[in-house]
Structure 1
Amino acid sequence: MKMKLEHSFYVDPVGIAGGLSLWWNKDIQLKILGYGKHFIDAEISVKGESVWIGTFIYGPPYKDQKSEFWNFMKNLRDDHDTKWLVIGDSNVVSCQDEKLGGLPFNPIDANCYFDFMDSRGLIDMPIAGAAYTWSNQRSNDDAILEKLDRVLCSPNWNIAFPKAVVMLDIAMGSDHAPVIIYLHGVNKKGKKDFKFESKWLLEEDCASTVQGSWKPISQPRISHRFGSKLRRTKFTLVRWSKLKDRVKNLRKTELHRRIEHLQGKQFTGEELSESISCKKELDQMWEDEERYWHQRARIKWLQYGDKNTKFFHATTLQHRRANAISRIKKVTGNGSRILRSWWSISNNNFKVYTKKTRRLIL
């Protein structure tokens, strides 16, 4: 996998249906307490923080199995003082406002879910973003949108993480939108330190850009001249890089915003085609970016390896994207693993991931 996470736990699918998996990194102390085809229950602590329980769920989609599942969840915890978070695809719509299109909302279908919430005193955390987390990817009268993915927490958990926010990302490679939890709120990033990007060495005009900014400067002292040249070269490289990447980055942002705008709407035929086209183009841009670094890492290894050791670091720059990941791929890089939904929990520099695989294309 390309998620830069050291540990994992899997619940195998039955044939090509179902399946759960959980990933976490070394900053997280995680102990699996129990699991089944519809849940993974884990004890979690992070860097000396208080221990809490996370239950990652995939609620059964069939009516005759819902009652059994939610009754099981009701009895999963004996201690009402436990800090408890429940996150995942509930496969439950709790009111008509959480459903658009298809058959009208039936309150009876949600009774077991409400019994579970009431018995544990859980809070349904609001999700910032689109009103619906799942779409059948159809248009006009055939479109159905529902809020199926949920984040529930106990009052104790809510007190332990008062700044926690839940956000919805764009749906890529799935009919579910990713749900991301920021345990300590969304921190604004400070000004970045200047770092020479090894990828610049692969640009034909990089050398001329540096040469043009490293021209003589009228300063009496050598140290002053050297410092002035460094500052001017830094400024020139940053401006050059921004201009070079500007068009591509603007297009990425435009695609992301357009997908986000269309998400959660009842598509017309034209909007459905536009959504598919935008996702395809954005996915291709990500593919090209990843393929670029893999190819250069193999082809230019000897040529650039001795000149700039940060070239080796450049091959891991995709970790930046992992901080806001919106799709998961197999190591083959062909995207053959289809993910119907996944969730993440973020605490500044780490994330916990769990995904539910619905089918595999072999």
Structure 2
Amino acid sequence: MNIAEMDLFKQKLGFRKAEDSPVLGVSGGLAIIWDPRNALFTPIEKRQNWMCGRVNCYNNKLKFNLINVYGPTQNRDKALVWLEIETFFKNNPNEVSIIGGDFNAILKVSDKRGGSNKLSVVAIEFADWINRNSLMEIQTTDNTFTWNNRRKGFNNIAEKLDRFFIFGGLSNFNNTMEAEILPISGSDHYPIQLEILVEQGPKNCPFKFEQMWYKDENILLLEKCWKEEVVSGSKMFIVANKLKIIKRKLLEWNVEHFGNIFERKQLVETKLKAVNTEVLKSGMDEILFLREKTLLKDYEDILAKEEIYWRQKSRESWLKDGDRNTKFFHNNTKLKRCVNRISSIRNS
């Protein structure tokens, strides 16, 4: 990504801060992005193939070093990068570090399917580097391979190149972690994510109109409800009660028709993983290609809605506790504005 693309990416996801190492030639760049309202990130070191910084999470007081890695393609450069990161470990021996990314190296023969079945010198050096620094790998919950050349039959090659490691031990980290390989989307690499599970107390969630609902054509039911509902009384009384009725029906529609976007996303991801498993076993064929194409279209639609959802969340301004009148006015004004907007769309 160039600077403009990075800024657009941050805006889409609702993040405000980023540290990046730009693309050099055909080599991919690195980026760490975060929301300063949730965590403080302090850059420590930045190189062409790795960068790191210290993360301090506000809510759970979690602290650790985060190291982002993009392994070089040339074998002679890989050992250099590993040595640089090892030096960082030696300079910070008492601090917990999470290391993740594309290492461009496998550890054992089972990390590869297709092509040569001999373990390379680089793989042996990579394993030695891990053992020497007492790194603990966080195993993924599903697929073995994170890279696939997407070719058919005997020409298909798959490898496990992307991983997460912990330096300093899980006991010091004192949190539950889950690493997961996500469905592929327009790349030969499977995205890999690490989720740190922390206990959080219940939250008071007032009603908020979700902007992602605009992506569904059935949102036009709001206009129908507004016109059909009969309420007697003063104009202010009619408006207030119609808004309450629409709010109730909107929430019912969200559950019954629109559904939980995260559950829908998980369902499509499960189907995509099944397709990916077949590709890993036997390579790509026409049936799998068409099935994957349809699922990816659904997946992109869900991601678009999810992007709107998180963008709205990132821009919300929290009102002071106890300011119920302002909160009521704020939410109901958004509802009425939505009804007016839908009416104008329908009339046009």
Please indicate, yes or no, whether the TM-score normalized by the shorter chain is above 0.5: yes
Partners of 1:88 and 1:151 within 8 A in 2: yes
Q: Quick one: distance in 2 between partners of 1:306 and 1:215?
A: 21
Q: Quick one: distance in 2 between partners of 1:185 and 1:168?
A: 20
Partners of 2:69 and 2:100 within 8 A in 1: yes
Moved more, 275-284 or 126-135: 275-284
Quick one: which amino acid aligns to residue 42 of structure 2? K
Partners of 2:43 and 2:53 within 8 A in 1: yes
Partners of 2:222 and 2:246 within 8 A in 1: no
Q: Quick one: distance in 2 between partners of 1:172 and 1:234?
A: 36
Q: Quick one: distance in 2 between partners of 1:312 and 1:7?
A: 32
Q: Shift of the alpha carbon at 1:154?
A: 2.0
Q: Shift of the alpha carbon at 1:289?
A: 5.1
**Greater relative contact order: 1 or 2 (C-alpha under 8 angstroms, separation 6 or more)?**
1
Q: Shift of the alpha carbon at 1:247?
A: 12
Quick one: which amino acid aligns to residue 46 of structure 2? Y
Quick one: which amino acid aligns to residue 178 of structure 2? V
The yes-or-no answer on 1:308 pairing with 2:340 is no
- In terms of fraction of residues, the more helix-rich structure is 2
Moved more, 56-65 or 152-161: 152-161
Over aligned residue pairs, what C-alpha RMSD do you find? 4.1
Match in the other structure for 1:100: 113
Match in the other structure for 1:178: 191
Q: Shift of the alpha carbon at 1:89?
A: 0.7
Cα 1:288–1:20 change in 2 (3 A) is closer
Match in the other structure for 2:73: 61
Match in the other structure for 1:236: 249
SS of corresponding position for 2:197: coil
1:5-44 map, 5 Å: 5-26=15-36, 27-44=38-55
Q: Quick one: distance in 2 between partners of 1:31 and 1:260?
A: 36
Q: Quick one: distance in 2 between partners of 1:3 and 1:37?
A: 25
Match in the other structure for 2:222: 206
Aligned residues: 293
Cα 1:277–1:161 change in 2 (3 A) is same
Q: Quick one: distance in 1 between partners of 2:87 and 2:100?
A: 17
Q: Shift of the alpha carbon at 1:18?
A: 2.1
Cα 1:188–1:149 change in 2 (3 A) is farther
2:103 to 90, 93, 97: 90
SS of corresponding position for 2:13: coil
Gaps of 5+ in 1: 217-225, 294-304, 314-362
Q: Quick one: distance in 1 between partners of 2:175 and 2:139?
A: 13
Partners of 1:94 and 1:107 within 8 A in 2: no
Cα 1:31–1:290 change in 2 (3 A) is closer
Cα 1:57–1:288 change in 2 (3 A) is closer
SS of corresponding position for 2:273: helix
Cα 1:291–1:114 change in 2 (3 A) is closer
Partners of 2:96 and 2:172 within 8 A in 1: no
SS of corresponding position for 1:282: helix
SS of corresponding position for 1:74: helix
Partners of 1:161 and 1:184 within 8 A in 2: no
Quick one: which amino acid aligns to residue 281 of structure 1? K
Cα 1:270–1:170 change in 2 (3 A) is same
Cα 1:113–1:252 change in 2 (3 A) is closer
Quick one: which amino acid aligns to residue 108 of structure 1? V
Cα 1:252–1:121 change in 2 (3 A) is closer
Partners of 1:58 and 1:90 within 8 A in 2: yes
Q: Quick one: distance in 1 between partners of 2:71 and 2:146?
A: 14
SS of corresponding position for 2:20: strand
Moved more, 93-102 or 152-161: 152-161
State the Cα deviation string for residues 37-71 of structure 1 (Å, max 9, x = none). Answer: 11001122111725321111011122232222222
Partners of 1:8 and 1:23 within 8 A in 2: yes
Quick one: which amino acid aligns to residue 35 of structure 2? N
Partners of 1:85 and 1:151 within 8 A in 2: yes
Quick one: which amino acid aligns to residue 25 of structure 1? D
Match in the other structure for 1:300: none
Partners of 2:66 and 2:97 within 8 A in 1: yes
With normalisation by structure 1, the TM-score equals: 0.67
